[in-house]
Structures are given as structure tokens and as C-alpha cells.
């Protein structure tokens, strides 16, 4: 089967997890760099990664990479690529992208040069002067870093963190991909009892439940390349069936979420129901102050207010001190807390057993993990 080069953009800090995830899906030549992971594979791997990846932001087909320091080099480099392999006569092909530390810094100029180059290429191939672009969207994305141009076609459409279950978010929701990563690094297992006492819209618990049941996060949504003529429809159907077959519905997994805000609890309940995991999640309105250890063992993962979007800095600090008292070292219990605070451990009152650097959007955070009793 033909192998293609692919690129997966991701949140900073998740590259290693994605590389491991992609290898597990059968991807070859997996190579991680800052904020992106390259791999090669057949079209079925691209569909699989879209449907099953918990950590990737998108799956893109790499059309080409070349150096360009002038608009002429950009134009010629792009025109030389075989766009006709992916773009039909009536397909839509909008162009967007970014440039960093490069001679070609005007994004809008690069955008129009690239569009012109693709049109010129297609004019020659299809012998037509006008492209009405009424067909399925094939989003072209460019990145120029240190004068190196990468041109890709996006197969995902809406970012993969949008699983399709979150109609409503609370005040400061966590990206689903980051929530899934927190569950993964906390070594969440299907036989665990999970807790999030500041659960907001329930993202961490929902991602935990999807993981525990081996439910693919993309089963309830569509991807833009599903409408492309260039990828046989059967591939998507087969990959969906394969992913469905891997789910373990009869898991003993149970998770408990609470939040001080009753509206957040209503949203979390609705999101859990829409994600198809409502039956193994229990939500109640409660203050963190009332948290006790209701079970002998527990995996607690939480994303408290940082004192930026919610609460002020002093209140956030007070909450960290409170967590330190409540989340006592106990046999069978582990705690993972995501925080941007440089002084988190001092305020919490204990040194973490492990720490992991992660980015919540642009905000540099750490997952502080406590598991020793
Ligand atoms: C950053 S948000 C969590 C967002 C969540 N991870 C999500 O994806 O929607 C923090 C949550 O902590 C809750 N909270 C703040 N103070 C609390 C307290 N004392 N007890 C319980 N919940 C609290 C807020 O209502 C808010 O929903």
C-alpha cells in the first residue's frame, strides 16, 4: 500500500505521548520535534489517527518541504508539488499559515503567493482557467520556520480536541487533549476509582472514562477528509468499525466529580451523557473543603483555578494550601494537579513525587504528581 508522509501538530509537551500513540497505531518513521510529530503510513493510518488519537490536534498530509527566502522561491517551490494528487477540479483549497524567524514574514503575502502557485499548477493539469471551489474543503496550511517551508493538507477539519461531546464549557475549560494527557501520565487504569473535586465541565473525568473504556475519542464526530474523493470512503467506515470493536463497555470504571458551581455540574452531566459515559460518572455539587477519601483507593486528577481567569491569585494560593492538607499521602491514593505556579510545592506543603511540563494553551504549567504514601 502507498505510504504517505504525515504531520501531527500538538500542544507543547505532548510530542512524546503522541509519538508513542502513533507507533501503537502502526505508524512508521515517527519523529517528534517541538509541537509536532512526523510519521509515515497508509491512508488508513491517517483515518485511524483522526478517530483514535487522544492527544493530537490534527492530522495533516505533508505535500512538501523546501527552503525559500524570496517570494519567487516560495512560488516555484509550491508550484512544483503534485497538488493534483489531492485536489480535484472543483475542490475548495483555502490557504492559511504562519511564519517564524524567517525572511518571508508577511503571512498575507505568503498566503496569496501560495494560492497563486497552486492555481497555476492546477491550471496546467486540468486545462481550465477558473476554479469555482464548490467542492469539499482541502485546507492548505503552510509554516515557514527559519526559511524552511512546510506545506500540508489538513485532514481533520475542526481540531481533534473537539470530540463532539462538549456543547457547553464551564468558566475555564481544559482542552480535551490535555485532559487526556493528564489521565495518561497519571497511569489511570480501568479498575481505578477516579476523582476530580473541581471538575468544572467534567473534561478530565470524561476523558478518563473514554480512556478506561478504550472508547475512541473521534467516534462521535466527522473529519474534513471524509468528504474527499481522494480517500476511499470505505477506509473511514472500516476504521470506525475497528475502533468500535476495541471498546470495553463492561468496565468496572467509576469516577466522581464535584464542583462548587451548580451550573458547572449541570454542564458536566450533560457533556458526560453526550460522550456516552454518563453511566460511570457521578457528579455532585460540593466544595473542595468537604472532600474526604470515600474509597480505599483513588486516582485524583484536577485542574484548580489558577488565579487568572477564575479567582484572584491570593484565593488560588489559599486553595493550593487547602489541597495540600486534604490530599494527604495515603496508600492506594494518587493525586495529579495541573498548575502554572512556580511556588506550588511550597504552598501545597510537599515536594511532588514526579513533575511534568505541559502547556495549557500558551500558559506554561506543570502536572504535580503525588503517589508515595
Ligand atoms: C479551571 S476550572 C476546572 C475546569 C475543568 N477542568 C473543565 O475542563 O471544565 C476550576 C473549577 O474549580 C471550581 N472551584 C473553585 N473553587 C472551588 C472550591 N472551593 N470547591 C470546589 N470547586 C471549586 C470552579 O467552579 C471551576 O469550575
pLDDT of residue 172: 76
Pocket lining: 363 vs ligand 1, CB cutoff 6 Å: no
Atom of ligand 1 nearest to the CA of 196: 6
CA 69 to chain CA centroid, Å, is 32
- CATH 3.40.1440.60 for the 4-154 domain, yes or no: no
Share of the chain above pLDDT 90, in %: 92
Distance 209 CA to ligand 1 centre (A): 19
Domain definitions of the chain by residue range = 4-154, 176-217+246-370
Quick: pLDDT tens for 310-366: 668 888 999 999 999 999 999 999 999 999 999 999 999 999 999 999 999 889 999
Pocket lining: 172 vs ligand 1, CB cutoff 6 Å: yes
pLDDT of residue 292: 94
Distance 335 CA to ligand 1 centre (A): 16
Mean per-residue pLDDT, 64-84? 98
Q: How far is CA 59 from CA 46, 222, 281, in A?
A: 7, 13, 30
CATH architecture of the region 176-217+246-370: 3-Layer(aba) Sandwich (3.40)
Task: Look at ligand 1, atom 27, and give the residue with the nearest C-alpha.
Answer: 200
Whether the per-residue pLDDT at 169 is higher than 70: the answer is no
Buried b (16+ CB within 10 A) or exposed e, 108-137: eebbebbebbbbebbeeeeeeeebeeebbb
pLDDT of residue 170: 62
Whether the per-residue pLDDT at 45 is higher than 70: the answer is yes
Alpha helices in the chain (DSSP H): 15-24, 43-52, 71-79, 107-126, 176-185, 203-212, 233-246, 262-275, 313-326, 344-348
Task: Look at ligand 1, atom 5, and give the residue with the nearest C-alpha.
Answer: 200
pLDDT of residue 173: 85
pLDDT of residue 313: 82
Quick: pLDDT tens for 16-34: 999 999 999 999 999 999 9
Per-chain mean pLDDT for the chain: 95
Single pTM value for the model: 0.96
pLDDT of residue 251: 75
Distance 332 CA to ligand 1 centre (A): 24
Residues 339, 368 contacting (CB under 8 angstroms): yes
Quick: pLDDT tens for 263-300: 999 999 999 999 999 999 999 999 999 999 999 999 99
Rounded to whole angstroms, how far apart are CA atoms 44 and 41?
8
Q: How confident is the model at residue 168 (pLDDT cuts 50, 70, 90)?
A: low
Whether the per-residue pLDDT at 142 is higher than 70: the answer is yes
Crossing angle of helices 176-185 and 15-24, in 10° steps, is 80
For residue 354, the 8-state DSSP code is E
Pocket lining: 266 vs ligand 1, CB cutoff 6 Å: no
Quick: pLDDT tens for 227-267: 999 999 999 999 999 999 999 976 789 999 999 999 999 99
Amino acid at each position: 500500500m502507498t505510504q504517505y508522509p504525515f504531520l501531527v501538530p500538538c500542544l507543547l509537551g505532548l510530542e512524546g505521548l503522541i509519538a508513542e500513540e502513533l507507533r501503537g497505531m502502526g505508524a512508521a518513521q515517527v519523529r517528534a520535534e517541538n509541537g509536532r510529530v512526523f510519521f509515515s503510513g497508509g491512508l488508513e493510518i491517517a483515518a485511524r489517527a483522526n478517530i483514535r488519537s487522544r492527544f493530537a490536534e490534527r492530522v495533516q498530509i505533508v505535500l512538501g518541504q523546501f527552503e525559500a527566502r524570496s517570494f519567487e522561491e516560495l512560488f516555484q517551490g509550491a508550484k512544483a508539488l503534485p497538488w493534483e494528487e489531492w485536489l480535484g477540479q472543483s475542490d475548495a483549497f483555502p490557504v492559511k499559515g504562519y511564519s517564524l524567524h524567517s525572511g518571508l514574514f508577511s503571512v498575507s503575502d505568503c498566503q496569496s503567493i501560495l494560492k497563486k502557485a497552486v492555481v497555476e499548477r492546477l491550471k496546467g493539469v486540468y486545462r481550465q482557467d477558473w476554479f469555482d471551489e464548490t467542492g469539499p474543503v482541502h485546507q492548505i496550511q503552510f509554516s515557514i520556520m527559519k526559511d524552511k517551508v512546510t506545506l500540508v493538507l489538513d485532514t481533520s477539519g475542526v481540531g481533534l480536541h473537539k470530540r463532539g461531546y462538549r456543547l457547553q464549557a464551564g468558566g475555564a475549560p481544559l482542552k480535551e487533549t490535555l485532559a487526556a494527557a493528564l489521565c495518561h501520565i497519571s497511569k489511570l487504569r480501568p479498575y481505578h476509582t477516579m476523582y476530580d473535586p473541581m471538575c468544572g465541565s467534567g473534561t478530565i473525568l470524561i476523558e478518563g472514562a473514554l480512556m478506561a473504556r478504550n472508547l475512541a475519542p473521534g467516534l462521535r464526530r466527522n473529519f474534513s477528509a471524509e468528504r474527499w474523493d481522494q480517500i476511499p470512503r470505505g477506509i473511514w467506515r472500516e476504521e470506525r468499525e475497528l475502533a468500535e470493536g476495541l471498546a470495553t463497555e463492561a468496565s468496572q470504571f467509576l469516577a466522581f466529580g464535584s464542583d462548587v458551581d451548580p451550573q458547572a455540574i449541570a454542564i458536566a452531566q450533560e457533556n458526560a451523557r453526550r460522550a456516552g459515559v454518563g453511566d460511570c460518572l457521578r457528579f455532585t455539587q460540593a466544595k473542595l473543603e468537604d472532600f474526604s477519601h470515600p474509597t480505599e483507593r483513588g486516582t485524583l486528577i484536577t485542574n484548580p483555578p489558577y488565579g487568572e481567569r477564575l479567582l484572584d491569585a491570593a484565593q488560588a494560593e489559599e486553595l493550593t494550601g487547602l489541597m495540600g492538607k486534604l490530599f494527604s499521602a495515603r496508600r492506594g491514593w494518587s493525586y495529579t494537579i495541573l498548575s502554572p505556579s512556580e511556588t506550588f510545592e511550597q504552598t501545597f506543603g510537599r515536594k511532588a513525587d514526579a513533575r511534568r511540563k505541559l502547556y495549557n494553551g500558551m500558559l506554561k504549567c506543570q502536572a504535580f504528581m503525588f503517589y508515595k504514601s
